[in-house]
Structure 1
Amino acid sequence: MTTPPSPPVADTPPSGEGLGQRAAAVLVFGSSAAVLVVEIVALRLLAPYLGLTLETSTLVIGIALTAIALGSWLGGRVADQVDPHRLIGPALGVSGVVVALTPLLLRTTAEWAAPALLLVAAGTLLVPGALLSAVTPFVTKLRLTSLAETGTVVGRLSGVGTFGAIVGTVLTGFVLVSRLPVSSILIGLGALLVIGSVLVGRRAGRRRRASAVALATVVAGSLATAFAPGGCDAETRYHCARIVADPERATGRTLILDGLRHSYVDLQDPTYLRFGYVRAIAAVADTAFPAGEPLVAHHIGGGGLTFPRYLAAARPGTRSLVSEIDGGVVRIDREQLELGASGGIDVRVEDARLGLKRLGTDSRDLVVGDAFGGVSVPWHLTTAEALRDVHRALRKDGLYVANLIDHGRLAFARAEVATLAEVFGHVAVMGAPGDIGLDPAATPVGGNMVVLASDRPVDAPAIQRALDARETGWRIATGDTVTAWAGDAPVLTDDHAPVDQLLQPHPTRTVR
């Protein structure tokens, strides 16, 4: 005689008390969202010191993924040995404290102990990332009251966690960063995590002394962050921005984006050009077109709008259309750099590649390229396809002039020149003689260079005289010299443009 099978044996949680489905979903959703908020905001905190490059993005993403993997793995192991009720609150609390202190830690380290920045950055990502990722296995352990529903519980919580990560990503990218300083985002998130820790601890009947200490730490860290070095006058969607007055020139202003000098503007004299590369661009325009003749120009990248202002003053009647992706920078131009006083300048907040597509064929005398993310030209503006849009928009005798930055072997600059040669009939390079192949005995140093491309021949002697008159100290290279200098550099295309890998940053902070 057989006996009927016994019903499934229930696995009782270690504490003898499970976790409600709604509370479980909130914990997993919130902790997963918080990991992505920290990851995205960390990129913006590090950009002023490491640059907003592919390498920086890869580093942050890699550390974040390592934290998620480590937290999930260790969290599962620990949950099998310790009552998860005792773990969730401390995980949230410690994460909250570290997150809230991150702006203070990173900015202070960057200013006073720069070599340790990567180590500190890794810690401020790994610690909260791992602890918050461990919340999911903690909660899963508490929800698994029966082996018969393992798949349902694990699948549901996995889906909730993924949805939380999506919401955290979208909320940060489209809402928080555009409305709040990154320090406020992290301090606010840290406070929410500590409050969550208090609520979880109260539910579990734990003592609240540690929670009070955590809250006090967040408050103290918040106050200290206000006095930390590396603050911004404004945090835009893309940059930490500051306006610095020139102590030697009462009307001079420098726009600093992510720690780099991007533009110098004289509020009373737009024809005063402080940066050498801007003087070189002006030398080209002054030589190529009759003096005072108004132009129709397009500017890829705006910054402080130094060159559009120059054209408006030196060539009355000039119409300049500017594609500037960062609306916050445009707002600074209007509010602090007196953009309204400059006529003939129309600024569109748009990606410059899309702006190029909107230009009419044969509609521009001059296109100026001066768009940068950190010290790198955004890769999609460097390719043959992008330059063909420039070529299409230019009139028959039009000119394309662009600012480049490179160091070391100048691999990116050479590749960009090779790409220009694929699209335009004539290409010239301006820069320090040792950098552009005019002084073979010199070791290339790098920095700013200006490239000129057109279908009409380049009047190199006239441009050289203009460069000398503006005291740039630069030379111009054309023809076979440029071809030999570019060598076998690759042509950049939309399918393959490893700009960040080709670009060699200066060993110290680069200043434009």
Structure 2
Amino acid sequence: MRFWTIIGLILVLSALGLTYEIAAGRVLAPFFGTSLLTWTSVIATILAGFSLGSALGGFVAERARPVAVSKVRRALVATAVLMALSPIVLAFLYASGARETGGMLLAVFVAFFPASVLVSLPSPFLARLAVEARPGREGSSLGLVLAAGSLGAIIGAILAGFVALPLVGSVATFAGCGAAALLCVPFVRGDPPGADGQGATPPPKDRGSILSVAVAALVVAASLVGGSVCGFESGLSCIDVLRRGGAVYLYSDRTEQAAERIIRSDGPTGAPPTLVMPYAQWIWARMERDLGPAPSVLFIGGGGYTLPTRLLEARPLAQAVAVEIDPLVTRVVRQHMPWAGAMIERAGYDADSGGGLGGADQGRLGILHADGRVFLNETELRFDAVVMDAFSSGSVPAHLATLETYRRLQRIVGGPVYVNLIDAPDGPLVRGMHAILSDLYPHVEAVQGPVSGRGRTNILLAASRTTLAPLDAMPEDYEIVQVGPGRAFTDDRGWVGHR
């Protein structure tokens, strides 16, 4: 094998490993959420696989060249199959009852550890070939091997985060990883060091190897048949839209985000649809009681744009800015949520260009596709109220649940703050958020909905500089609760996620 062919294989396999690692974190989100713990589990598991694979590959590299070549090729074929099937294995384990921390750790190990071991197994053998290919230049050869591994990791990270996952989704990314592993197989050869194959006796055809590659290729192709793990996918969101019970529901990473009543063509006209989700009903009831006729309201997290739509329907002089990190969410809402989509079409404008709030000639619903914390840090706008409804999978992003975030909010928002959370009753997230709001505002109210079979519930917080007037009614099964003492999250010691 030529030296630069070996270096190319090392680079490709390293890129393959990092692409696989990042894709694993993305595909895990619809099942177990995105948090510090899920990413830690993925990274630790896959790095452990890389370590074991390198160790085992060292023993393979010491074998006779024909034996080593055969084992490396088999490892690559198995890698292709395991990588392509990883999302299917993960979905099967989840459907079989894997839940919470223990289930997540088991699922991560079973779905991602074996392929991580096998993708790194060829590296020691390739490094040996690279060193042998240039006698007397072992130092520079080894240095280029290490550099190729590092450069491949960089390429893999960029490829996964900026290209593959946003453009084709996680399932196709895993299939692409499998295909790339198969394409490496014919380049692994048993030629003498530095040989280019010219004038040499061609190696005998290995019919078993050819058959195994063909079967693996069929498995990789078949893994695409099931399609994406969700209806719409980007590098940030895994979105499904479902219709049931006279309403259309929007799910992000399998967490219910928004819902609208389906307006029948023979139904009454003129009145806006009623709010479906109880948490939205309560926040709107508070907004209706607390805000004046022409408020400017900031929404961190667009979701289904249900609350901004309700506000602008009910308050013709109101203005809103919705900060949604993922443009895909906005596109799905425009296409599949008729009420909110119509409002975006009628009153929406692109707020990315900066400036002030929209006017009559511009629109009343500014839409900004950006991270909520970045917007808060940079905006010069001022608002009368804010709704904090940003979710990453089933929980609030950690950098939006800190004392520093709400101190910044306090400087740009003159009125009440409304916060939507999902947590266990009196759980660590709600206690930490309640501690933050209690440090900054004299009046804080907490309301809790019914508890699900998994022990989670919507917990809603309202904080204000002035007394919060009582509401006339509450959504069904919602009640005011007392929140226990907690530690206020900070940028230094923040929220780590549900487990």
TM range (shorter): 0.7 to 0.9
1:430 aligns with 2:447: yes
- Cα 1:445–1:94, aligned 2, differ >3 Å: closer, same or farther? closer
Query: Would the alpha carbon gap of residues 499 and 270 (structure 1) be closer, same or farther in structure 2, given more than 3 Å must change?
Result: farther
2:138 aligns with 150
1:457 aligns with 2:467: yes
Question: Deviations for 1:53-84, whole angstroms, at most 9, x for unmatched residues?
Answer: 11111111011110111111111122113423
> Which whole-Å CA distance do the structure 2 matches of 1:27 and 1:170 have between them?
18
Contact residue 442 and residue 464 of structure 2 kept, 8 A: yes
Q: What's the secondary structure of 2:384's corresponding residue?
A: strand
Q: State the 1:476 CA deviation.
A: 3.1
Instruction: Output the CA distance in 2 between the equivalents of 1:28 and 1:224.
Output: 26
- Residues 380/195 of structure 1: CA separation in 2 closer, same or farther (3 Å cut): same
Mapped to 2, the partners of 1:209 and 1:303 lie a distance apart of 52
SS at match of 1:374: coil
SS of the equivalent of 1:402 reads: strand
Query: Cα 1:257–1:211, aligned 2, differ >3 Å: closer, same or farther?
Result: farther
1:320-343 CA distance string (max 9 Å, x none): 101111111111112222444102
> Taking structure 1 as reference, are residues 406 and 122 closer, same or farther at Cα in structure 2, changes over 3 Å only?
same
State the 1:417 CA deviation.
0.6
Q: What do residues 386-440 of structure 1 show as CA deviations (whole Å, max 9, x unaligned)?
A: 1012111112xx11101011116512211111111122232111125999xxxxx
Q: Which residue of 2 aligns with 1:140?
A: 127
Gap change, CA 1:37 and 1:298, over 3 Å in 2:
same
Alignment partner of 1:371 out of 387, 390, 395: 390
Please tell me whether residue 27 in structure 1 is matched to residue 44 in structure 2.
Answer: no
Deviation at 1:121, TM superposition (A): 3.6
Q: Does 1:281 align with 2:268?
A: no
2: CA distance, partners of 1:223 / 1:86: 25
Q: Does 1:401 align with 2:418?
A: yes
Q: How much does 1:241 deviate?
A: 0.9
Q: Paired residue for 2:172?
A: 184
- 1:476: which partner in 2? 480
Give the TM-score normalised by the residue count of structure 1: 0.82
User: Which residue of structure 1 lines up, in the alignment, with residue 52 of structure 2?
Assistant: 70
In the alignment, is the contact (CA less than 8 A) between 1:27 and 1:135 conserved in 2? no
Matches of 1:420 and 1:129, distance apart in 2: 44
CA displacement at 1:352 relative to structure 2: 0.3
Q: Which residue of 2 aligns with 1:219?
A: 218
Q: Which residue of 1 aligns with 2:296?
A: 296
Q: Describe the SS at the equivalent of 2:125.
A: helix
> Which whole-Å CA distance do the structure 2 matches of 1:401 and 1:303 have between them?
15
- Partner of residue 384, structure 1: 403
Which residue matches 1:242?
240
CA distance in 2, matches of 1:428, 1:77: 63
Cα separation, 2, equivalents of 1:215 and 1:94:
12
Pick aligned residue for 1:122 from 109, 112, 116: 109
Q: Could you list the per-position Cα deviations for residues 233-256 of structure 1 after superposition, in whole angstroms to 9, with x for gaps in the alignment?
A: 11122122111112x21xx21011
Give the structure 2 partner of residue 510 of structure 1.
Answer: none
Q: Secondary structure at the match of 2:488?
A: coil
Please name the residue that 2:359 is paired with. none
SS at match of 1:486: coil
Q: Is the Cα–Cα contact under 8 Å of residues 16 and 180 in structure 2 kept in the other structure?
A: no
Cα deviation for residue 40 of structure 1 reads 0.8
CA contact (8 A) 1:99 1:187 kept: yes
State the alpha-carbon separation in 2 of the partners of residues 119 and 382 from structure 1. Answer: 29
Q: Is the 8 A contact 1:197 1:211 kept in 2?
A: no
Is 2:5 aligned against 1:56? Answer: no
Q: Give SS of 1:466's match.
A: coil
Q: Given the alignment, which residue of 251, 256, 264 partners 1:256? A: 251
Amino acid of the structure 2 residue aligned with 1:91: A
Distance of aligned partners of 1:323 and 1:267 in 2 relative to their CA distance in 1, 3 Å threshold: farther
Residue 9 of structure 1 is matched in structure 2 by: none
- C-alpha contact 1:67 1:127 (8 A) present in aligned 2: yes
Match of 1:414 in 2: 431
Q: Quote the residue 1:37 is aligned against.
A: 19
| Structure 2 equivalent of residue 357 of structure 1 | 377
Q: Percent identity?
A: 27
Q: Which runs of 5+ in 2 are unaligned?
A: 192-202, 264-270, 348-363
Q: What amino acid does structure 2 have at the position aligned with 1:380?
A: H
Give the aligned residue type for 1:379: A
The answer to whether the Cα contact below 8 Å between 1:270 and 1:309 also exists between their aligned partners in 2 is: no
Query: Aligned partner of 2:342: which letter?
Result: A
> Structure 1 pair 81/278, CA: closer, same or farther in 2 (3 Å)?
same
Aligned to 2:78: 94
Shift, 1:148, TM fit? 4.4
Pick closer, same or farther for the CA change 1:368–1:447 going to 2, 3 Å. same
- Residue 451 of structure 2 contacts residue 457 of structure 2 at CA under 8 Å; is this kept in 1? no
| Unmatched runs of 5 consecutive residues or more in structure 1 | 1-18, 436-443, 506-512
- Partner residue of 2:495? 498
Structure 1 CA distance for aligned equivalents of residues 138 and 110 of structure 2: 34
Shift of 1:48: 1.2
The residue type equivalent to 2:442 in the other structure is G
8 Å CA contact 1:264, 1:274 repeated in 2: yes
Tell me which residue corresponds to 2:268: none
CA contact (8 A) 2:248 2:260 kept: yes
Q: Does 1:466 align with 2:496?
A: no
Q: Could you tell me whether the CA contact under 8 Å between 2:46 and 2:112 is conserved in 1?
A: yes
In structure 2, the residue corresponding to 1:81 is in which secondary structure?
coil
Secondary structure, in 3 states, of the residue corresponding to 1:375? Answer: coil
CA contact (8 A) 1:198 1:211 kept: no
- Alignment counterpart, residue 88 of structure 2, candidates 104, 126, 129: 104
- Please tell me whether the aligned partners of residues 101 and 222 of structure 1 are also in contact (alpha carbons under 8 angstroms): no
Q: Please give the alpha-carbon distance, in whole angstroms, between the structure 2 residues aligned to 1:354 and 1:270.
A: 33
Structure 1 counterpart of 2:233, one-letter code? E
The alignment yields a C-alpha RMSD, in angstroms, of 2.6
Paired letter, 1:405: I
Q: Is the 8 A contact 1:198 1:208 kept in 2?
A: no
Contact 1:187 1:218 (8 Å CA) reproduced:
no
Instruction: Give the match's secondary structure for 2:320.
Output: strand
Distance in 1 (alpha carbons) for counterparts of 2:391 and 2:185: 42
What secondary structure does 2:416 align onto?
strand
Distance 1:138 1:324 in 2: 48
Name the CA shift for 1:82/1:51 in 2 (closer, same or farther; >3 Å).
farther
Q: Distance in 2 between matches of 1:359 and 1:244?
A: 35
